[in-house]
Structure formats: C-alpha cells, structure tokens
Amino acid sequence: MKISLNRVRDSKNGEIAFSYDIDFRDVKCSFDQPFQSPVHVSGKVFDHAEIMEAELLIDTEVKTSCARCAKEIQFPHSLKLNYLVSEDEHSDAAEENILCAENGELDIDEAVKSALLLSMDMVYLCRDDCKGLCPGCGADLNEGPCSCKKEIDPRLSVLRDLLEK
C-alpha cells in the first residue's frame, strides 16, 4: 500500500489510518522464507504541526527451523514502530527511524518488509538447551543418547564415566 503525503495533509484530521494484510511468503531471510503466515499491518501516517510521522504495528507468525536440530519452529512475532517521514528522497535512509517518501508517497509494504528483516535473529533454537543432532549418526539427541555412544570400547567407558562426572 502506498500513502500519498498530500492526501494526509488534505485529510480532515491530518491523518490516514490503515489496516491490511501483506503476503510475504516469497520473502527470503538467509536460507528461509519465514513469513508463511499473512503479515498484518495497521497504523497511520499523520501530520503533526508540519512534521509528518508514521506509526506501524506489525503482527505475524515466523516459521523457521532450529539451528541445531532442524526441527520446525513457529512463533508469533510483532513489532511496533514509529517513524519520522522525510520528503527528501536523497536523505540518509540509513537512519532506522526515518521513512523516506518517493514521489510524495510512502511505500508501507517496503517499510514493513525491511523492518521485519531487520528484526530477525541470525539463529533460532527450538529451546535454549537444544542438544542438536549427533554428528556421527544424525540422531536427535533431545530424544535421548544415540547408538554411537554405546559402541564406545568398554575399556574407554571408565574414562567416559570420569569425564561425565
């Protein structure tokens, strides 16, 4: 959705509010496409004594996999963002809380996409103490010790018992 700043200025109470869903199923984040659920966006763009501001509330669900055991994980993800709106297309958009208008319009979908990608962690775990997969046999160690451990030479198991203490 694009919001024209002139429309905001001309509106009765100096604001345009919106609420809609975006489909970001194709958006890639590292090796994943974590936004398989609709991304709900609500917010407004408002004219505050000659200063334009935007408020966004993003609500969705992230679907990814555990970095250690590859199990699928899904969790709700919401963001609340406040921006100053800049009409200077050449202004430094590197500043996170500035939203730049292009041809007098704000691209809300683009803003939501970059905010979501910025908010993602590099690594997600199914639980903090996930034991991961055995590098030897690939078994999920959260479900108990795998068979490779049992194959340790009995003469070494004394040593292993010592190490595990």
Residues forming contacts to Zn ion in the complex (CB under 5 A) are 66, 68-69, 71, 126, 130, 134, 136-137, 139, 146, 148
Phi–psi pair at 83, nearest 5 degrees: -125, 150
Cβ proximity to Zn ion, 22 vs 66, nearer residue: 66
Q: What are the structure tokens assigned to 76, written together? A: 């709700």
- Please state the closest distance from residue 123 (CB atom) to Zn ion, in A: 11
Q: Tell how strand 72-86 and strand 98-100 pair up.
A: parallel
Element (H, E) at 155: helix 154-164
> Smallest distance from the beta carbon of 68 to Zn ion, in angstroms?
5
Q: Which residue, 68 or 77, is less far from Zn ion as judged by CB?
A: 68
Distance of alpha carbon 157 from alpha carbon 148, whole angstroms = 13
Nearer residue to Zn ion within complex by CB, 81 or 141: 141
What's the min distance (Å) between Cβ of 29 and Zn ion? Answer: 18
